């Protein structure tokens, strides 16, 4: 097997490489582990980019050394610790018995193994066999305390991907407290003008792309909400100022984690940049007794010189092929109708049946029963935790309704919000100690609900029992797993006072355990993650659930930005999108049916409206949309996705989907507002075969692939707001 990791013992240099990327690190004087390079692949490394030695004022030197030219304050490194003479943000903080947090992790040894070990209890990218990747494990230790660290680097053979994580092990004889552990540190030198691209947002306004030059000082992108959050996705891209969608250097880093995260970027006095990514250290404090260890979640890194689209396609491929595990990962996803925006809580079996009938007539493939089918839930003030069927709404039982849906040839899906509890619930009355609350304090409600203490096994066991019973007894084909608040009142009655700093992370570990148990027990159910829309749209959830609801905002124009931003990292097969009514229930906007269809057809497609209330003309349009989507579904869900025009930069958006063979492409263009004095604009395609001719199937016009990629075509001049156009190209044989 060709080596993916080389070790030059004489110069103590490690080179991880494949066809696309190289990552280089070295052991320097004093056994300090230095970073040399991450970027485009090189065949062989000849020793350059070792950090030049220089005596710089106020950047002191290694303890015991007389060499004034060697400083941890300037050397790019792979891991840094509090208490060292390095004035940047550290990757590791370990508090010791004497009160000190000073640590000096130094290189000890290494190991190279075939394949990629999984992380206990945590989601991570995987391999299907050991020839796909190699892993370098670097062992570091602090002489004084015995605290050790393992830095794990995996390089994939056929993907431009390197994954990193870190494990901290207390090999000393005294208890220590871990106060911070970044999953990775990446130092950049000679990139003074780097810019960051992140995905901040809000509820119903998720993953809004934001690009800015790095400034001196520390910039932090983070979540402290207990979830990966609507407010900041656990991702960062670093790019050069000239990088655009199609060209230029793009480094993309995502954290495979669904809880509090922290991405800090520090540009220092020498214009060097340190990137740290990992669990947020706010209210984090993990006790490590002698012999115990702590595993940080994984970071997936990629590099592309083909701009942001190159970076995104690398991440899409990795997530699609080596993070998502579900048996549905390559299957065409059903077209759904979901009753949430159609009925909210106001439904019963007899009201839903006509929607199912209409769905069948229109070719829709699955009915999803959303919130309100359990306990005595008529609004969002009760019943969370009571996963028993609401008799009033389903007098003949849920299986009766599931049978009805199945008899119509549709699949049947159902909504849960497993992590929550209402005060007005049997579960609360039986177990008032099962929610997270600080002793003697009133917990804070949000949507009038509270968070179950998932750090507790008895709580998780109860949920597995209740949810399994519903799934077993009602022929469920699909589950939407929702989560409708941020965490607060962080406290677990099961943990002692000095270990409450573990609760945030233990909640996430508990959640992963719960998801693992339920998804593994029901492998034939298609699971969809959700958190009030896109509050937990991350690669951690993707490990358990192959698709996620990106936003509660179903407005097509708002979705242009949400879906564009989401596509920076996550594959289309993960991103669900539904047509809803006008005026839109979140924005009041009136968008043409065709535009709503085109935006929703750019993801995993469905409807979220009362089909019985549509006009005849709209019903015909639904039928046509459903038929069209079925024809293009494999291409949309599993083709290569390219962003062409950013809605963050102007009045238009455009994107395209193309198959592996470059023989078929769908192009969607969108014009937001019209203008009396319309200027001509063009859409220029990418990724086609320049040597081939393509026919547009609507107009039968034939174009050369080279023409479409150089000249492009004019966008239509429209005198209407919120328009969309769908082009379907096929290679002419």
Q: Which is nearer to ligand DGJ, 302 or 531 (CB)?
A: 531
For residue 329 the two structure tokens come to 């990962």
How far apart, in whole angstroms, are the C-alpha atoms of residue 134 and residue 114?
4
- Tokens 């970073």, located at residue: 35
Residue 616 annotated to the active site: no
- Residues with Cβ within 8 Å of 369's Cβ and at least 6 positions away in sequence, in order, are 339, 352, 401, 412, 413, 414, 415
Q: How far is the CB of 10 from ligand DGJ (least distance, A)?
A: 58
Q: How far is the CB of 323 from ligand DGJ (least distance, A)?
A: 22
For residue 683 the two structure tokens come to 């859409």
Q: What share of the chain is helix, strand, coil (3-state, %, to 5)?
A: 20, 30, 45
For residue 270 the two structure tokens come to 């020498």
Catalytic residue chosen out of the listed positions 187, 281, 371, 552: 552
Residue nearest to ligand DGJ (CB): 371
Q: Which is nearer to ligand DGJ, 61 or 586 (CB)?
A: 586
Sheet holding 411-416, edge to edge: 547-548, 526-529, 478-481, 411-416, 366-369, 336-338, 604-607, 576-579
Q: Which is nearer to ligand DGJ, 479 or 685 (CB)?
A: 479
Site residues (vs ligand DGJ, CB under 6 A) = 340, 370-371, 415, 482, 484, 530, 532-533, 549, 552
Q: How far is the CB of 395 from ligand DGJ (least distance, A)?
A: 23
Q: How far is the CB of 500 from ligand DGJ (least distance, A)?
A: 29
Q: How far is the CB of 344 from ligand DGJ (least distance, A)?
A: 8
Catalytic residue chosen out of the listed positions 86, 249, 424, 482: 482
Q: Where are the beta strands (DSSP E) in 280-423?
A: 286-288, 293-295, 298-304, 336-338, 366-369, 411-416, 420-421
Q: Which is nearer to ligand DGJ, 228 or 484 (CB)?
A: 484
Q: How far is the CB of 534 from ligand DGJ (least distance, A)?
A: 8
Q: Based on the number of CB atoms within 10 Å of its own CB, is 98 exposed (0-12), middle (13-18) or buried (19 or more)?
A: exposed
Q: Give, in order, the Cα–Cα distances in Å from 185 to each of 6, 266, 612.
A: 21, 11, 55
Q: Which is nearer to ligand DGJ, 300 or 470 (CB)?
A: 470
Q: Which is nearer to ligand DGJ, 238 or 511 (CB)?
A: 511
Residue 552 annotated to the active site: yes
Q: How far is the CB of 324 from ligand DGJ (least distance, A)?
A: 20
How far apart, in whole angstroms, are the C-alpha atoms of residue 277 and residue 261?
7
Q: Which is nearer to ligand DGJ, 554 or 637 (CB)?
A: 554
- Residues with Cβ within 8 Å of 583's Cβ and at least 6 positions away in sequence, in order, are 589, 590
- Residues with Cβ within 8 Å of 635's Cβ and at least 6 positions away in sequence, in order, are 657, 658, 659, 664, 665, 666
Q: Give, in order, the Cα–Cα distances in Å from 148 to each of 29, 106, 141, 167.
A: 19, 9, 4, 8
Annotated catalytic residues are: 482, 552
């Amino acid at each position: 097997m060709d080596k993916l990791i080389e070790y030059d013992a004489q110069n103590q240099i490690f080179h991880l490489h494949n066809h696309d990327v190289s990552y280089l690190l070295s052991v320097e004087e004093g056994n300090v582990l230095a970073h040399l390079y991450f970027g485009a692949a090189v065949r062989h490394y000849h020793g350059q980019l070792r950090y030049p030695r220089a005596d710089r004022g106020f950047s002191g030197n290694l303890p015991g050394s007389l060499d004034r030219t060697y400083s941890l304050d300037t050397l790019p490194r792979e891991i840094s610790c509090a208490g060292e003479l390095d004035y940047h943000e550290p990757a590791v903080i370990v508090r010791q018995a004497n009160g000190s947090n000073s640590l000096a992790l130094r290189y000890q040894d290494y190991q190279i193994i075939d394949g990629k070990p999984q992380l206990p209890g945590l989601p991570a990218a995987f391999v299907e066999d050991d020839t796909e990747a190699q892993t370098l494990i670097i062992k570091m230790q602090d002489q004084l305390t015995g605290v050790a660290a393992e830095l794990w680097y995996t390089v994939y053979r056929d993907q431009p991907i390197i994954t990193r994580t870190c494990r901290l092990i207390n090999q000393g004889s005294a208890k220590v407290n871990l106060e911070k552990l970044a999953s990775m540190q990446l130092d950049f030198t000679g990139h003074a003008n780097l810019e960051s691209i992140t995905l901040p947002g809000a509820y119903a306004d998720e993953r809004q792309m934001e690009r800015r030059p790095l400034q001196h000082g520390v910039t932090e992108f983070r979540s402290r909400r207990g979830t990966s959050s609507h407010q900041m996705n656990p991702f960062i891209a670093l790019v050069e100022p000239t990088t655009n969608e199609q060209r230029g250097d793009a480094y993309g880093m995502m954290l495979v984690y669904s809880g509090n995260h922290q991405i800090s970027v520090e540009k220092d006095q020498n214009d060097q940049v340190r990137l740290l990514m990992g669990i947020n250290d706010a209210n984090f404090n993990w006790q490590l007794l002698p012999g115990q260890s702590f595993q940080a979640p994984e970071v997936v890194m990629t590099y592309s010189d083909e701009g942001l689209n190159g970076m995104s396609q690398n991440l899409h491929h990795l997530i699609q092929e080596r993070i998502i595990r579900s048996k549905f990962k390559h299957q065409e996803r059903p077209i759904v109708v979901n009753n949430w925006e159609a009925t909210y809580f106001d439904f019963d079996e007899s009201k839903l049946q006509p929607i199912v009938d209409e769905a069948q007539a229109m070719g829709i493939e699955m009915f999803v029963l959303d919130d309100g089918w359990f306990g005595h839930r008529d609004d969002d003030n009760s019943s969370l935790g009571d996963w028993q069927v609401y008799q009033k709404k389903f007098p003949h039982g849920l299986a009766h309704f599931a049978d009805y849906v199945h008899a119509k040839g549709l699949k049947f899906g159902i909504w849960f919000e497993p992590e929550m509890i209402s005060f007005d619930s049997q579960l609360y009355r039986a177990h008032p100690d099962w929610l997270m609350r600080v002793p003697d304090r009133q917990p804070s409600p949000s949507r009038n609900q509270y968070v179950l203490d998932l750090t507790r096994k008895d709580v998780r066991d109860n949920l597995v029992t209740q949810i399994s019973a519903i799934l077993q007894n009602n022929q469920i084909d699909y589950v939407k797993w929702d989560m409708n608040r941020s965490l607060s009142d962080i406290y677990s009655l099961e943990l002692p006072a000095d270990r409450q700093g573990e609760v945030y992370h233990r909640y996430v570990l508990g959640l992963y355990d719960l998801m693992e148990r339920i998804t593994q027990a029901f492998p034939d159910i298609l699971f969809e993650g959700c958190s009030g829309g896109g509050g937990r749209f991350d690669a951690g959830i993707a490990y358990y659930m192959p698709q996620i609801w990106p936003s509660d905002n179903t407005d097509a124009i708002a979705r242009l930005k949400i879906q564009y931003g989401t596509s920076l990292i996550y594959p289309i097969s993960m991103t669900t999108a539904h047509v809803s009514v006008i005026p839109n229930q979140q924005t009041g906007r009136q968008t043409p049916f065709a535009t709503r269809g085109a935006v929703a057809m750019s993801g995993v497609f469905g409807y979220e409206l009362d089909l019985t209330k549509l006009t005849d003309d709209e019903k015909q349009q639904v039928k046509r949309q459903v038929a069209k989507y079925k024809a293009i579904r494999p291409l949309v869900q599993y083709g290569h996705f390219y962003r062409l025009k950013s809605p963050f930069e102007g009045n238009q958006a455009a994107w395209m989907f193309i198959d592996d063979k470059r023989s078929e492409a769908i192009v969607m263009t969108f014009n937001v507002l019209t203008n009396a004095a319309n200027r001509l604009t063009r859409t220029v395609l990418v990724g086609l075969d320049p040597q081939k001719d393509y026919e547009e199937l609507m107009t039968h016009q034939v174009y050369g692939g080279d023409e479409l990629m150089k000249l492009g075509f004019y966008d239509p001049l429209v005198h209407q707001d919120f328009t969309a156009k769908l082009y379907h190209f096929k290679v002419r044989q």
